[in-house]
Structure 1
């Protein structure tokens, strides 16, 4: 088994290296988003264009922070599952077969 921490350190694991499936619903939505952003950027001028770009940038920052938070919470939850699996052997019932052989 490879050392996952070492593999991550050397860049052999890249959880962000993912893309959309060709023709998927999400890819279509991303295309709509990009087309409308380009349309609005071309049509708007002055303060309206500045406000829209500020809105789009702030929205991307909030989305990025939300994704980071979800990643951290999920990673910590997974670590808690692993810890509980290997460190805690308690259960509501006792194992009669195990007690017979001890």
Structure 2
């Protein structure tokens, strides 16, 4: 148990990277988003491009905060499930 906590602490375990890489649907969606964003970017004036960059920065910050909230909730939920499992008297089994 201590080994996995150390790996997590030192950043060797990154749940975000694993989730993005594991889903083919997400990979395809990211490619499509990139192509569409590039087309949009190429059709804009310099001022519009700057506004788009600021928008992208805000969206990325928001996604980071959402991912943190989801991770925190899931971690706490997992802990509660383990606690209930360990505290279960075995009456239902």
Distance in 1 separating the partners of 2:27 and 2:12: 26
Q: What aligned pairs does 1:41-60 form with structure 2 within 5 A after superposition?
A: 41-60=41-60
TM-score, normalising length: structure 2: 0.72
Give, in angstroms, the shift of residue 88 of structure 1.
5.3
Q: What aligned pairs does 1:12-23 form with structure 2 within 5 A after superposition?
A: 12-18=12-18, 19-20=21-22
Distance in 1 separating the partners of 2:28 and 2:43: 22
Query: Which structure carries more helix by proportion?
Result: 2
Q: Which runs of 4+ in 1 moved over 3 A?
A: 9-14, 87-91
Q: Which runs of 5+ in 1 are unaligned?
A: 94-102
Distance in 2 separating the partners of 1:25 and 1:15: 17
Give, in angstroms, the shift of residue 69 of structure 1.
0.6
1:79 equivalent in structure 2:
79
Q: Structure 2 vs 1, CA of residues 51 and 10 (structure 1 numbering), >3 Å: closer, same or farther?
A: closer
Q: What aligned pairs does 1:1-102 form with structure 2 within 5 A after superposition?
A: 3-18=3-18, 19-20=21-22, 24-87=24-87, 89=89
Q: Which runs of 5+ in 2 are unaligned?
A: none
TM-score, normalising length: structure 1: 0.67
CA RMSD of aligned residues (A): 2.8
Give, in angstroms, the shift of residue 73 of structure 1.
0.1
